[in-house]
Structure 1
Amino acid sequence: MATNIESDIDRPQAREIVARVAKMQPWLREHQAVAEQQRRIPQDTVERLDAAGVFGLTRPKRYGGADFTTREVHDVFRTLGAGCGATAWMVWAAAGGNMWSLAFPDDVVAPVYESPWVGNRTFAVGGTSRRMSGTARQVDGGWMVKGVWPFATGSVHASHGFLAVFHDESDDAKVGMVLVPKDSLVARDDWDAMGMAATGSQTVATDGELFVPDERFSTPERLAARIAELTEQGRGPRRGGLVRSLVTSTGVALGMADQAMEVFLGGVGKRSVPYSPYANQIDAPIAHLTVGRAHTRIRAAALVADAAVAELDRRDAEGLDLSEREAVQFHTDVAYIWDACASAVETLFRASGASAIAKRQPLQLIVRNCRAGSLHSALNIDTWTENVGRALCGVESGPQSMSVLERRS
């Protein structure tokens, strides 16, 4: 089947998408609370994001998706995060599935991405452990798959899923990925979290066993071989893999911090400080200290992100891969950025008084979303500062990913 390959002229430009998303920020902010209540991105918002070209980030280049630099992707996420952090997280997570499209034959994958659809077409989950993945047994013509896949971010909005399956009862290294239509799965309406509630990260499961034909089953080895082949031809994906994805996620954290600062400064001149000599918060020195402390944390985090983004783009342009030690450092930088942003937002929240706890106030939602993101195992500051410390001391650190699929590919 021929694929629909667009020219570079037709391809959406990052600066245009950033500009469109910036215009959408009032809408995104107005609908943050609605999104949280619905525990998914509202369909109206999905349609607006689609029209703005945002979901080009979640579609492979060869099927008309965006092929942006790390800087460009980061800037889109930062602008999106300044409107709604949960929306930005969902788009970021959905974009991570692009890599797995390379592991399947073009005539299998092309219809998934070329068929009419509004939103992200795919989501990807699994591989962390048997408890969080499925199993597969080989039969004539394919595989019988069954399992439960929690935290399927973006699955609410997608038509297909990439799902990890273990296909050997005695060997945890024998893991693959299957591509299945979402309507062949059971969606469990069980995502009800204190933060990032709007991401639609529900559990998906099979109803008994599900037959998956051979052409819709793949492995990390096939993925690696295909990436190597395309890279040699000059048509491969941008370098960086998981590290690049994580570095672009810092745009989500910084965007939420940007919004929090804007919200706080918008009220500091109107807010009173009961039981104090200051009739207005803007007259209180502690308010200036609070703003300065939060600003410094956000600025420092942004400078670390900028350095990481620039280095990854340099290496991509020069065809250079990261060493394992360098990858640990980048991973730690990402965790630092998320923690610094969450801490800055919490500083502003604490200084906002009891009125900030009202659900109608946006700051409390930003606080919960940003801290929830920072607690993800791939972004946890304690885990990654320990790992980089171990590396510095010459002691073996933990794996770059808990996912068998990510490690093997």
Structure 2
Amino acid sequence: MHHISEGELRAELVSRARALIPLLAKNASQTEAGGRVVEDNMTAIEKAELFKLMVPRRFGGLETDFRTMLEVSRALAMGCPSTAWVTTLMNTSAWFVGLMGAQSQQDVWDANPTVRMAGVITPSGRSRRVKGGLKVTAKWPWASGCLHAQWAFVGLPIVDESGATIEQGMAIIPMKDLTIENTWFVAGMKGTGSNTIVAEDVFIPEHRIMSASKVLAGDRPTPYKEEALYHAAFVPVTALVLVGPQLGMAQAALDFVIEKAPKRGISHTTYENQTTAPTVQLAIAEATMLVDTAHFHAYRAAADIDGAARQGRQMKYVERARVRMDAGYVARAAREAIRILCSAHGASSFAESSPLQRFWRDSEVASRHAIVNPEISAEIFGRSLLGISGGVSHLV
């Protein structure tokens, strides 16, 4: 088989994602109303192999890089942000599995490389030590993609025989061992179905559990040292992937407002259409600079992560802090661009029939994800620039 370069593979995958935009846009209202991504979308994304971005080539996956993942997320979000979010989180959860030991990877992918994985890394619940592993009882809220997944990747406490927590861990559990509690009632990102997954005294064998602190420090159970992708910096990855959909929302909102401007007047003014109004011209210029800024920061952060992984080096604390800052900055720039565009387009931006109000709501909600929080990220980054590492958050 002709080995294609990462660049060629990226171009091919992004064009597949772009080809799905009309379908996703057509189904966006239904995805929202149903509180879950419609099956047509999931089937089309699977057929385009876009759930395989982070699956190792050993299992027939694509094993791309984070720049490719951002661009695919961005393209899908131009059609439906909820669908893009679910796809992104599923790909990220697959990446988490790629960090695990060989047996865990086989458990998940041996039978089927297109198997889908939902994930919540925030540790929850209580564990008890039993022969051969742990039994866990927990609730993990905001499990994006859980309605479409066969496996869950979760955070949990690792305990000793006496029940004392030794450290935080991460584990994989088949969805058939879990139940889903319907808790996702939100103003935006309604279609992600990010409900709560529940474990009642579920057994997890030892080999399906790994130490969170080791993973954060770059010590991964995966024996495949030559696979650069699975040695990328953990927290920078988890922060950056969340802003891929923001890029698409902001870009799509900008394209929409520019496309409609010649056909729209401005009520109670002498302007025949928006195109001739300086207020709109200035707003479009400002929004475009914000959208571009979001892209520049996102792509630079991806280059930093991918570059360090390829070189096989650990990112320095200040570099990791900067990626968190970049992610927060992207979210804020995209959100602000959409706000300006809604004002320029006018009050009909908020008609339920307009895609603008969905981009607005989705970006307002998605950009509030805890690990993207711009203020906390700025604090971490500012401290790191002044030579202070640690404190604030262990997620750097």
Q: TM-score by structure 2 length?
A: 0.89
2:58 maps to which residue?
A: 62
Query: Is 2:138 the partner of 1:147?
Result: yes
Separation (CA, whole Å) in 2 of partners of 1:301 and 1:201: 25
Q: Against the structure 1 CA distance between its residues 13 and 33, is the aligned structure 2 distance closer, same or farther, given a 3 Å change threshold?
A: same
Q: Counterpart of 2:122 in 1: which secondary structure?
A: coil
- For residues 371-382 of structure 1, the aligned pairs below 5 Å read 371-382=364-375
Q: Is the 8 A contact 1:149 1:205 kept in 2?
A: yes
2-structure distance, mates of 1:7, 1:154: 34
* In 1: Cα distance, 2:136 partner to 2:222 partner: 29
In structure 1, distance between residues paired with 2:120 and 2:69: 21
Counterpart selection for 1:213 from 183, 196, 205: 205
| Match of residue 157 from structure 2 | 166
In 2, Cα distance between equivalents of 1:37 and 1:345: 22
Question: For 1:321, what is the secondary structure of its paired residue?
Answer: coil
- Pairwise CA distance, 1:205: 0.7
Match of 1:57, SS state, is: coil
Cα distance, 1:20–1:236 mapped onto 2, change above 3 Å: closer
Q: Is the 8 A contact 2:24 2:80 kept in 1?
A: yes
| Residue identity matched to 1:86 | S
Amino acid at match of 2:250: A
Does the C-alpha gap of structure 1 residues 147 and 377 become closer, same or farther in structure 2, counting only changes over 3 Å?
same
Among 62, 81, 84, which residue is 2:80 paired with?
84
Which deviations, in whole Å up to 9, do the C-alpha atoms of 1:48-81 show, x marking residues without a partner?
Answer: 0000110012534432222213322222222222
Q: Deviations over 1:125-175 (max 9, x none)?
A: 1435xxxx1211112343221111101111111001122221349865522
Q: Cα deviations across residues 239-266 of structure 1 (Å, max 9, x unaligned)?
A: 2333134334433211111100111112
Tell me: CA distance 1:376–1:301, structure 2 relative to 1, closer, same or farther (3 Å): same
State whether residues 70 and 248 of structure 1, in contact with CA within 8 Å, keep that contact through their aligned partners in structure 2: yes
Q: Percent identity?
A: 26
1:40 partner letter: R
Q: How far apart are residue 99 of structure 1 and its match?
A: 4.1
Give the Cα separation in 1 of the matches to 2:334 and 2:142: 23
What residue number does 2:233 align with?
A: 240
1:93-143: CA deviations, max 9, x gaps? 22222344256553453242243586x521221435xxxx12111123432
Q: Give how far 1:379 is off.
A: 0.9
SS at match of 2:141: strand
Residue 7 of structure 2 is aligned to residue 15 of structure 1: no
Higher relative contact order (CA 8 A, sep 6+): 1
Residue deviations 1:14-43, cap 9 Å, x none? 322211111111111121121111111111
Residues 197/58 of structure 1: CA separation in 2 closer, same or farther (3 Å cut): farther
For structure 2, the 5+ residue unaligned runs are none
Aligned: 1:123 with 2:118: yes
Cα deviation digits, residues 322-347 of structure 1 (max 9, x gap): 11111111210111111101110111
1:218 to 1:7, Cα distance in 2 relative to 1, 3 A = farther
Q: CA RMSD in A?
A: 2.8
Secondary structure of 1:151's match? Answer: coil
- 1:299 and 2:292 aligned: yes
Looking at structure 1, the residues matched to 46 and 392 of structure 2 have their Cα atoms a distance apart, in angstroms, of 36
Find the counterpart in structure 2 of residue 230 from structure 1.
224
1:8 is displaced (CA, Å) by 5.9
